Amino acid sequence: MKDEMTKSTLKPPFRADHVGSLLRPTAVAEARKAGVTGDALREIEDREIPAMIKMQEEVGLKVVTDGEARRAFWHFDYMGMLDGLDLVQRDPDAGIAFHGVKTPPTVSTITKKLDFPADHPMLEHFKFVKEHTSVCPKISIPGPSAAHFRTAPEDIFVEEYKDPEVFTAALAECWKKAVGAFYDAGCRYLQLDDIFFAYLGDPKHRALWESRGQDPDWLINRYAWMLNEAIKDRPEDMTIGMHMCRGNFRSTHAAEGSYEAAADAIFNKADVDIYFMEYDTDRAGGLEPLRLLPKGNKRVMAGFITTKTPELESMDDIKRKFEEASKYADMDQLGIAPQCGFSSTEEGNEVTMDDQRRKLELVIKVSQELWDDA
């Protein structure tokens, strides 16, 4: 009864939060590397994830995830569990290009009409977290833009989906069904990783879509429409978060550029409650786009703490950045979170478990100093 009362009083938004993924426990990483699958792998994950949840609670977080420990990728695992979307492995050149490195060559293909299945495994993943925490459970899933951005036009084999408007409408409907299913599973805090709004501020990614005959500015607004269609009918007691970054694979990045091109769509064309925004380097541009955050209850979790390197940011530097941010958005509408996850793919970033914990402890310390967050 005490745990249930605690959960009921811990409702987002929080001043201190995190994007979701955590470094994989050694037992999970070794099992996956050894090719362990199915029930045998699930037993290991079920044994290790409660300790990951406990670590988050111990540092003082009021919201926890399973660290995405059951996934290889932050987005492909979820997408591959949808009806109609199949993941295929191609030659190494098909991998996603990051700065100086490529991911494994996983490719998204659309083979039939899209749908969110009633037995999507991540519904059970969420329930496991909910059953093993005394604070607020959260799950992060890719936003609908991920399925569009990561599917090349030539890999769409449903004729009507070759029309971008039809394809994006189908994605919006698929994600709308997912939002309802997670709510029914007990989820009251759902995060959508819609990082491609930020990618479309990068000239090279804009040029890619232009070469495919699609206007990147149309895409930005269409992505906002998709997101809003997916979440607009959610119940009043369901909070929606949105994460944006420029790639996160083994401490590297895949894009750079300001939020400016997408800021109006991000803040004013999708009814999102909480925004997780990467701001750990100059690659994200300036803080000026925060001026478009509407007054009210929406909150930006400023990603001034990086997950890519082990060095711990200084409190003075973080305070100076919040002082700058407050020129564009009210401090009451700001919070603190790391700029991205610690392990967006199973390989993880170039940081240790101790580094990860110290970063999360810093998140809590900042929230306490700046907002007296008990």
Q: Name which residue leads in pLDDT, 346 or 192.
A: 192
Q: Which two tokens stand for residue 344?
A: 């967006």
Question: Residues 123-144: pLDDT tens digits?
Answer: 999 999 999 999 999 999 999 9
Rounded to whole angstroms, the Cα distance separating 168 from 237 reads: 27
- What does the DSSP 8-state code read for residue 286? -
Rounded to whole angstroms, the Cα distance separating 232 from 343 reads: 30
Amino acid at 287: L
Q: How large is the average pLDDT for residues 341-359?
A: 93
Instruction: Give yes or no for residue 310 having a pLDDT over 80.
Output: yes
pLDDT reported for residue 82: 98
Instruction: Give yes or no for residue 91 having a pLDDT over 80.
Output: no
Question: Residues 193-202: pLDDT tens digits?
Answer: 998 898 898 8
Pick from 195, 186, 271, 284: which is nearest to 233 by CA? 271
Instruction: Give yes or no for residue 338 having a pLDDT over 80.
Output: yes
When mean pLDDT is compared across 62-66, 72-76, 293-297, the lowest value belongs to 72-76
Percentage of the chain modeled with pLDDT above 90: 82
Instruction: Using pLDDT thresholds of 50, 70 and 90, give the confidence band for residue 374.
Output: low
Instruction: Using pLDDT thresholds of 50, 70 and 90, give the confidence band for residue 101.
Output: very low
Rounded to whole angstroms, the Cα distance separating 143 from 373 reads: 30
Q: Which two tokens stand for residue 79?
A: 């997408």
Instruction: Using pLDDT thresholds of 50, 70 and 90, give the confidence band for residue 2.
Output: very low
What's the CATH architecture for 19-371? Alpha-Beta Barrel (3.20)
Count Cα atoms within 13 angstroms, Cβ side, for 36: 16
Instruction: Give yes or no for residue 5 having a pLDDT over 50.
Output: no
pLDDT reported for residue 283: 86
Question: Residues 17-53: pLDDT tens digits?
Answer: 999 999 999 999 999 999 999 999 999 999 999 999 9
Instruction: Give yes or no for residue 100 having a pLDDT over 60.
Output: no
Strand 299-305 to strand 63-64: parallel, antiparallel, or no bridges (unpaired)?
A: unpaired
How far does CA 287 lie from the centroid of its chain?
20
Chain-wide mean pLDDT for the chain?
A: 92
pLDDT reported for residue 98: 41
Q: Are 43 and 27 in contact (CB under 8 A)?
A: no
When mean pLDDT is compared across 78-87, 231-240, 252-261, the lowest value belongs to 252-261
Rounded to whole angstroms, the Cα distance separating 47 from 44 reads: 5
Strand pairing partners for 87? 108
pLDDT reported for residue 9: 62
**Per-domain residue ranges of the chain:** 19-371
Question: Residues 10-20: pLDDT tens digits?
Answer: 899 999 999 99
Q: Name which residue leads in pLDDT, 105 or 54.
A: 54
| Range ranked top by mean pLDDT from 235-249, 252-266, 298-312 | 298-312
Instruction: Give yes or no for residue 115 having a pLDDT over 80.
Output: yes
pLDDT reported for residue 281: 87
Question: Residues 243-257: pLDDT tens digits?
Answer: 998 876 666 766 788
Percentage of the chain modeled with pLDDT above 70: 92
